[in-house]
Structure 1
Amino acid sequence: MSITATSPGADAGHIESAAAQAERLVPLLAERAAEADEADRFVAENYALLKEAGLVEAGVPRELGGGGAGIRDLAEMLRLLAHGCSSTALAFSMHTHQVAVPAFRWRHQQATAVEPLLRRVAAERIILLSSGGSDWIGGSGTAEKVEGGYRVSGRKVFSSGSPAGDLLMTGAVLHGEEGDSVIHFAAPMKAPEIRVLDTWRALGMRGTGSHEIAIEDLFIPEAGVSVKRRAGEWHPLFQIIATIAFPLIYAAYLGVAERAGELALAMAARKPPSEDRLALAGRMETSLRAARLAHRWMVEAAERNAPSAETVNDVMTGKAILAEHAIRAAELSMELGGGESFLRSNGLERLFRDIQGARFHPLQSGPQARYAGAMALGLPVSRIF
């Protein structure tokens, strides 16, 4: 089946939304989901579909050649993709937020320095990788100052989509007499100093290609450094990232929980009704409703277009609520489905495994609770991450 993307230059009234295009892909993604999971195989064919459908550039402003999708439409796109393939949605959320962050900076902060990157995404459909698993507030890897720039080395774990990546949006720690700092830069994945290590063997989300990336003595010119910040504390850039990225990433997990619920209801409908099944279905639906409400809260916080410590708190509180209830909904879906939900052939146990990933993105439960508590008590949060 061929997917035809709507031209970003078409009349605005005739541009199909990113979510509508994603919905058309769901059956195709679903056909391959089990195979990718069973073989620990990256969903490369699905990335080809995403490119063909124009979803790679969906978040690029229309003025720069993209689809001009906002946070809400991008989140809906990812939620729907997860109904077809969890791994595709989660891996693609990493590219999507790496586009949405510079798009926000271009539109709301007049950051013209990000324009060439956004134009490349639109024109060439390059894939951006996130090394968020390694490069949270503390940073990782090492940078050594040399003439004209830096020499960088390190290992970047959980780099979802790495087999398809063109640019790794990452950083490295520079040790100095006045304390450590972190430099941020885009590393070309085709550079000989960069290797993707075949390490992704996981409980769930097996098709995300979240391999470890090794960087060995890569030269980054001074002009290639986009941001330099103090290590180990929140920076305004990370307030933007946290506010924008997590409504997108967790849209994928919401979609996984919803799909698990759909399968469980279909299984239950084939059996005689009972009071216990009614109760299980009701509890599952209640958890799903809580997850949806939490996600709506996250999206609304991002749509204020004013990232701050407060929006980080709102998004991360929503994330914690969504994760708890999405995981609980998946657990209840297994119970509602009964013994057949334990069989791999029905797909429900795969979704149950996939949803467990919602536990592990920052802020994890401990730091999130401490951040929320410090905010409530009017205490500093700059080093809580």
Structure 2
Amino acid sequence: MSAAIQAAIEPVRTDWLAQVDNTADEIGAHAAEHDAHESFVSDTFQKLKAEGFFKALVPEEFGGGGAGVADICQVVRRLGAQCGSTALAFSMHSHLVATAAWRWRHQNAPTDGLLKRVAAENLVLVSSGGSDWLRSEGTATPCEGGFRINARKVFSSGCPAGDLLMTSAVHDDPEAGPTVLHFAVPFTAPGVTVLDTWHVMGMRGTGSHDVLLRDVFVPAASIAGRRPQGKWHLLFHTISMIAFPIIYSAYMGVADGARATALEIGRRRGFDTGLPARVGAMENAHAMAGLALDAMVRMAGGAMPGPETTSRVMTARTLAGRGAIETVERAMEVVGGASFYRDLGLERAFRDVQGARFHPLRADEQALFTGRVALGLDVDG
């Protein structure tokens, strides 16, 4: 078969990194303004949506872009170098879609309906999982036809542009005990209110406000999953494997941007006997973060979820976060006192990258989990 005929019958694959390169500088131009005014990155979200990024991870057979996790990690990383808030908020939508696609492909999970909706309606999904994690927050009270949900969901990144809140609440099941129910709630549903709470140190443009759910009705048929409260479940091993390479690509991108700024200034600087060593220390930190992130991306592409994979992913998450934070700190040392000036962008990068500390599993929790796995102990013990 000739190359021309083969090209004619095979679908054209989108080069997502090249596509984001065409718009990254424009997105970066608005980053400082959003940071200064604590305003949601609505303009960048609109641009990414118009270019198909929000449905990029949906399989092609469902009308999506067919992108892989590795593709989107590159996109998020490139965005992070320009605007950490855009990268992080976009990563929260992306990991939900990527997890749904992986579960459909590998576990025959009934997530095809959600994936088709994301593609057809160009939906923005919002996660409350980082704040809920294994225990979840809020109550699910049985009522005729379903449940009434009362909860306050914090750190709901991207909610000013959100269509569906992917969340959970706890049902006190008389037989099974406290049971976490997973479901989606439209932001237009009665009882859903976005509270103006996101006034913070860094990642100010993510719009990670609290979402209040007051007597929100969720039909029984809309309950997508049930699990024991506070226990590790296959769903969370899957989320850990897929979500964290995408999320930490945002922080790696912030580190990339800080490093690039420091190198540009360092190369222009006159002779300084201490400069090469300071740059070398920055490079070491950047390499640690990059190697850890690469390991996470490989696991998302080829591992299977379970305690051992979660342990490796979470170890890499700790190292990637630590390396990204140190890279920005070292970049400031390379630049010196000029790094205090906001116009340079390093001050914002320093504040934004601190968020890498706070996603689950935090470093102390990760060390405990990894230690239990290494010792052959029950991770729920």
Band the TM-score falls in, shorter-chain normalisation? over 0.9
Q: Which residue matches 1:242?
A: 240
Q: Which residue matches 1:337?
A: 335
The CA deviation at 1:16 is 2.2
Q: Which amino acid letter does the alignment assign opposite residue 356 of structure 1?
A: Q
Q: Which residue matches 2:136?
A: 139
Checking the alignment, whether the CA contact within 8 Å between 2:303 and 2:309 is kept in structure 1 is no
Q: Whole-Å Cα distance in 1 between the matches of residues 79 and 316 of structure 2?
A: 21
- In structure 2, the residue corresponding to 1:217 is in which secondary structure? strand
The CA deviation at 1:11 is 6.4
Q: Whole-Å Cα distance in 1 between the matches of residues 18 and 313 of structure 2?
A: 25
> How large is the RMSD of aligned CA atoms in angstroms?
1.2
The CA deviation at 1:52 is 1.1
Q: Which residue matches 1:307?
A: 305
Task: Provide closer, same or farther for how the CA distance between residues 283 and 153 of structure 1 changes in structure 2, counting only shifts above 3 A.
Answer: same
Q: Whole-Å Cα distance in 1 between the matches of residues 72 and 207 of structure 2?
A: 21
Equivalences for residues 224-263 of structure 1 within 5 A:
224-263=222-261
The CA deviation at 1:91 is 0.3
Q: Which residue matches 1:81?
A: 79
- In structure 2, the residue corresponding to 1:382 is in which secondary structure? coil
Q: Which residue matches 1:163?
A: 160
Equivalences for residues 43-122 of structure 1 within 5 A:
43-111=41-109, 113-122=110-119
The CA deviation at 1:12 is 4.9
Q: TM-score, normalised by structure 2?
A: 0.96
The CA deviation at 1:305 is 4.4
Q: Whole-Å Cα distance in 2 between the matches of residues 309 and 37 of structure 1?
A: 38
Alpha-carbon deviations, 1:9-66, whole Å to 9, x = none? Answer: x965632222221221211111100000000000000001101111010100011111
The CA deviation at 1:343 is 0.3
- In structure 1, the residue corresponding to 2:132 is in which secondary structure? coil
The CA deviation at 1:282 is 0.7
Task: Provide closer, same or farther for how the CA distance between residues 11 and 22 of structure 1 changes in structure 2, counting only shifts above 3 A.
Answer: farther
Q: Which amino acid letter does the alignment assign opposite residue 72 of structure 2?
A: L
Q: Whole-Å Cα distance in 1 between the matches of residues 237 and 72 of structure 2?
A: 19
Checking the alignment, whether the CA contact within 8 Å between 1:60 and 1:99 is kept in structure 2 is yes
Q: Which residue matches 2:4?
A: none
Q: Whole-Å Cα distance in 2 between the matches of residues 366 and 131 of structure 1?
A: 22
Gaps of 5+ in 1: 1-9
Alpha-carbon deviations, 1:140-196, whole Å to 9, x = none? Answer: 111101121100010000000010000000000112344211000000001121000
Gaps of 5+ in 2: 1-7
Equivalences for residues 1-385 of structure 1 within 5 A:
12=10, 14-111=12-109, 113-177=110-174, 178-382=176-380
- In structure 1, the residue corresponding to 2:154 is in which secondary structure? strand
Q: Which residue matches 2:5?
A: none
Q: Whole-Å Cα distance in 2 between the matches of residues 232 and 142 of structure 1?
A: 14
Q: Which moved more, 1:14-23 or 1:58-67?
A: 14-23
Q: Which amino acid letter does the alignment assign opposite residue 207 of structure 2?
A: G
Q: Whole-Å Cα distance in 2 between the matches of residues 176 and 13 of structure 1?
A: 49
Q: Whole-Å Cα distance in 1 between the matches of residues 20 and 245 of structure 2?
A: 17
Q: Which amino acid letter does the alignment assign opposite residue 103 of structure 2?
A: R
Q: Whole-Å Cα distance in 2 between the matches of residues 11 and 295 of structure 1?
A: 36
The CA deviation at 1:268 is 1.7
- In structure 2, the residue corresponding to 1:134 is in which secondary structure? helix
